[in-house]
């Protein structure tokens, strides 16, 4: 049951991310920063895609994804359509990997000590959804403040 709930939440919130990126009327605004807003929506989107492809795709799904976290925050002016494609591919990847997990897998130790300590896979998957939602909220405010 928890796996189906996680799949549903990731699907819901990644599709909200896609909707946020699609909702920018001015494509260049995706990459704006201003005063105390140091990360653009585009960079936050790349960060979320990279984060999930690394921690869910590469670690749990053995997808072969290789993360370049520095580029998640340094790349600029990637077309809106390409960002949307990346999010769509991430939706599919997360669903595929979570579909392969068993309830017993959620109780196992996550393969990496991400915060310098061990945790269960289930705990870390919950953490990752809260991380997604934190940045999703930032993107929503970014769009409403800077897409003018």
Any idea what DSSP says for residue 31?
A: G
Structure token digits, residue 24: 């920018």
Model pLDDT for residues 34-66, shown as the tens digit of each residue: 988 999 999 999 999 999 999 999 999 999 999
CA 67 to CA 135: how far, in whole Å?
A: 18
The rounded distance, in Å, linking the Cα atoms of 51 and 14 is: 12
Three-state DSSP state, 128: helix
Assess whether pLDDT exceeds 90 at residue 1.
Answer: no
71-103, pLDDT tens digit by residue? Answer: 999 999 999 999 999 999 999 999 999 999 999
Residue with tokens 């991400």: 114
- For residues 129-135, average pLDDT: 98
> What is the rounded distance in angstroms from the CA atom of residue 86 to the CA atom of residue 46?
8
CB 49 within 8 A of CB 144: no
Q: What's residue 93's pLDDT?
A: 98
Structure tokens at 102: 């068993």
Report how far apart, in Å, the C-alpha atoms of 123 and of each of 22, 128, 136 are. Answer: 31, 9, 20
Q: For residue 54, give every residue at least 6 positions away whose Cβ sits within 8 Å of its Cβ, in sequence order, or none.
A: 65, 67
Question: Looking at the DSSP assignment, which residues form a beta bridge with residue 109?
Answer: 120
Q: For the whole model, what pTM was predicted? A: 0.97
30 torsion bin: left (phi>0), alpha (psi -120 to 50), beta (else): alpha
Has residue 148 got a pLDDT over 90?
no
């Amino acid at each position: 049951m928890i796996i189906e709930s996680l799949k549903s939440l990731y699907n819901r919130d990644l599709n909200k991310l896609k909707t946020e990126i699609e909702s920018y009327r001015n494509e260049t605004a995706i990459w704006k920063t201003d005063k105390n807003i140091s990360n653009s929506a585009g960079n936050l989107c790349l960060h979320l895609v990279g984060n999930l492809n690394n921690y869910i795709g590469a670690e749990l799904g053995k997808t072969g994804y290789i993360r370049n976290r520095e580029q998640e925050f340094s790349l600029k002016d990637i077309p809106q359509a390409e960002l949307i494609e990346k999010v769509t591919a991430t939706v599919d990847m997360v669903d595929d990997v979570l579909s392969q997990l068993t309830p017993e897998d959620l109780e196992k130790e996550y393969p990496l000590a991400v915060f310098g300590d061990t945790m269960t896979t289930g705990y870390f998957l919950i953490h990752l959804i809260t991380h997604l939602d934190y940045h999703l909220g930032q993107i929503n405010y970014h769009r409403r403040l800077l897409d003018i």
